[in-house]
Structure 1
Amino acid sequence: MKLTISLQVTVDGVAQANGGNNDELDPGFTRGGWAIGAGDAAAAEYILETWQRPDAFLLGRKTFDLFETYWGARRDDGGFGQAISSTPKYVVSNSLSDPAWEYTTVISGDLTSQIRALKSASEGELLVVGSVALARRLLEHELVDELNLIQFPLIVGQGESFLPRQGRDFALDLKDSRVFPSGIVALTYGVGGRPQYA
């Protein structure tokens, strides 16, 4: 299974609270909702198509809880709710044991070996959406095959970045790029190998 990370980010790399402020999940962060103001139907359709494509989703616990509450209640909406509710989901958690959201399997313990086993068990695509901390962890353990970054044309100046200030280096191979009317840019990269340095 190909593992793809698909995240909405700002030009300064912030991936936090794109849909709005949440005091419980993002205490002290007041610049949430930065993706909502774009009003770009073509970009929204592209993101929906990305959600409709995978054979399974992989989510961190916080994102799972947020999505279950919001998208799980919209399972017949013909859009994001239906795409994620009707597709198998894997949630990474050491405390969740019996999830109520249908088609959900809990992954606990040694994440790296379990994800490797999941990837080798079948064909298709395993998609990570949201779940910034999980995305970083997967990248650091070299489990990611593809990055799909939807970059919004703004700098928020604070918040959690997708990539840490220090970490492993990766060579990226641009596989696809799209520019939408609002200035949103979708960049899809293959991940592999190390960059060449002078």
Structure 2
Amino acid sequence: MSRLRPLATVAGTVLVAATVLGACTASDPAPDPPSDPVTGPELVEGMRDGVWPVADVGDIEFRLAPRGLELVAMRPAPGWQVVDEEVGPDEIEIDLRSGDVRTTVEVGYQSGILEIEVDQLFDPPPAGPLRLGGAGSVDLVQDGEAVLVGDVELADGWRETQRSENAGDAELGLRRNRSGLVETWEVDARVDDGGLEVATDYEIQGLASP
């Protein structure tokens, strides 16, 4: 299967991650989030199977076969390791790790809809504004046991769908609709053992192209 042409800027992924090409150790600085969680074909005619680069985590290649999804390969980038893998006709789920950064890549297919998701956990998060790929960035501020959502900068086409600040927890949701595709970002920041922990979730879904 030929390699699909990557998007210039999908959304700041599916998948959520950073420039983490080398293994991280406890003394290493936290990695920066990825420029684009997931890139794929031009997506003007729907979602397609093939090779999808997932930020700097590696490449996932899958097929849409008559019986459903088939995993061709997950090729981790240097410094990343696959720690768990589940493959079924409706869903592929792969867990990877690099130092203290954990990433889950999921591909789902149901009723003609193809969805790719990338979840990432940063503990601790990178310093400064958290970049959400091509979607923009958000400032997350820890104030004692509270987490505050500061400045949010969004790229064209993106809008806020959720913002909440509770005791020890803050959430932010973003969404973009384009060419029959739906893209979302969810950011969940909380105080854990006195430090800030940030989980990000990027999803893109649309009709699967033949």
Normalised by the size of structure 1, how large is the TM-score? 0.28
Greater fraction helix: 1
The answer to which structure, 1 or 2, has the higher relative contact order (CA under 8 A, 6+ apart) is 1
